[in-house]
Amino acid sequence: MSSDGSKGSIRVPDAPFRPGEEASFDSWPWKPGDFSMPDPKTCEFKDTTELANGLVRVLDDDGVASGEWDPGLSAEELRNGLEHMVRLRIFDDRMMKMQRTGLLSFYMRSLGEEAVAIAQTMALQEQDWIFPTYRQPGAQFVRGRDMVSMICHCIGNEEDNIKGRQMPVHYSYREGRFISVSSPVGTQFSQAVGVALASSYKGLDEVTITWIGDGASAEGDYHYALNFASVFNAPVILNVVNNQWAISTHANFATGIGDFASRGLPYGLPSIRVDGNDFLALYSVTKWARERAASGAGATHIEVLTYRTGAHSSSDDPSRYRPGDEHTKWPGGDPVVRLKEHLINIGEWSEESHLELEEKIDSEVVEAYKEAVKFGDLANGPYPSADTIFTEVYEEVPWHLQEQHDEMMGGQS
């Protein structure tokens, strides 16, 4: 009997490393070229067992691309992807500084995961629907959203397109088919299947992509999504972004089997694990899944293996629960550095051009920030007018909301 009087024990998992411990990950046994690419249109779930238990990589540790999964992107496309990633990282840094100086209420960076939304969105068609979490804002850069508009949202000022109604980073961008971000984790995963099935019903060449975290994959919505996608053959790309951490909860608490991709197999979904810090591999796997979905062959389940380099959010302090340098030991390295080195290797980029790019984007972000605060800052406003509390709750304002609106306005409606 233990000291607290209980007779048995519960096996509670733990994170691999805690503060004060030396983090060290085994190097990956998988190399670029290890896996062939099945035909996306005829591939069945059982054909993907190796892909689910392995890891699709294109870039090796020296930044050299090889193997059947090399998407063969042009240098221009690669530079474009790199630019979006650098843009997102510098944008995030600036927004984080704004949060730290009281100019934003809250912020969430994509640090270390920039490739995920950017490579995957670039692999889609412009008519495809994006159903993100808060860790995929980068998709908006690919879809052409104006940075000033994004900052106005994060401030919640009078130009915020969602009128100060949600916390920062909960973007909505209909023009780019980027569907409103919701705080309850996982809900978008099952909804995305519905979006995709509406495309099927209408007979349109539209695919829906969605993401969920390793932590949220323990929610019912994850399982609803896989099951409905399988049963109804939905044209959807279901990504589990395994960045190891859900705030302080390690991925070991989300599943008892240690990995995520293979969980799609018993649902009958072709499942692939991909190096989430390898821009080329991500692009290629997503393009494969898009081709599969668009052909009518159905959904693909993808584990995007990565590491959350930053804190969960501006309210989080990861040094309380993991070694501070754990991210530097991650076998996948840094997605920006890896694509940069690849471009340099093929003679299409240089350290100098990278510095120039960073400087250009830095001033782009500063300019956008200055422009955005003209529409109001967090400390001083102006904020959206108070009566926006009552609009768009329903299509038309019902009488009881009108009464409450009038009460709030002191009878001066």
| Residue nearer to other proteins on the CB measure, 197 or 293 | 197
Alpha helices in 247-314 (DSSP H): 279-294
- Whether residue 298 contacts residue 237, with contact meaning beta carbons closer than 8 Å, is answered with no
Residue 267 designated active-site: no
Residue 321 designated active-site: yes
**Catalytic residue, candidates 224, 321, 383, 405:** 321
Residue 408 Cβ, how far from other proteins at the closest point, in Å? 14
| Residue nearer to other proteins on the CB measure, 170 or 308 | 170
Q: Give phi and psi for 293, each to the nearest 5.
A: -65, -45
| CA atoms of 131 and 207, how far apart (whole Å) | 11
| Residue nearer to other proteins on the CB measure, 124 or 197 | 197
Instruction: Using alpha carbons, select from 228, 230, 216 the residue that is nearest to residue 191.
Output: 228
Residue 126 Cβ, how far from other proteins at the closest point, in Å? 16
Instruction: Using alpha carbons, select from 161, 163, 186, 183 the residue that is nearest to residue 172.
Output: 161
Binding site for other proteins (CB under 8 A): 129, 131, 160-163, 165-166, 170, 172-174, 179-180, 182, 184, 187, 190-199, 201-202, 208, 220-221, 224-225, 227-228, 231, 391-395, 398-401
Residue 194 Cβ, how far from other proteins at the closest point, in Å? 2
Sheet of 208-213: strand order equals 129-131, 208-213, 236-242, 300-305, 271-275
Residue 314 Cβ, how far from other proteins at the closest point, in Å? 20
Residue 223 Cβ, how far from other proteins at the closest point, in Å? 8
Residue 327 designated active-site: no
| CA atoms of 264 and 183, how far apart (whole Å) | 24
**Catalytic residue, candidates 79, 87, 89, 308:** 308
| Residue nearer to other proteins on the CB measure, 173 or 349 | 173
**Catalytic residue, candidates 84, 312, 338, 342:** 312
The SS3 of residue 239 is strand
Integer CA distances (angstroms), 276 to 47, 76, 371, 375, in order: 22, 21, 34, 37
| Residue nearer to other proteins on the CB measure, 208 or 309 | 208
| CA atoms of 70 and 371, how far apart (whole Å) | 40
Could you list the active site residues? 308, 312, 321
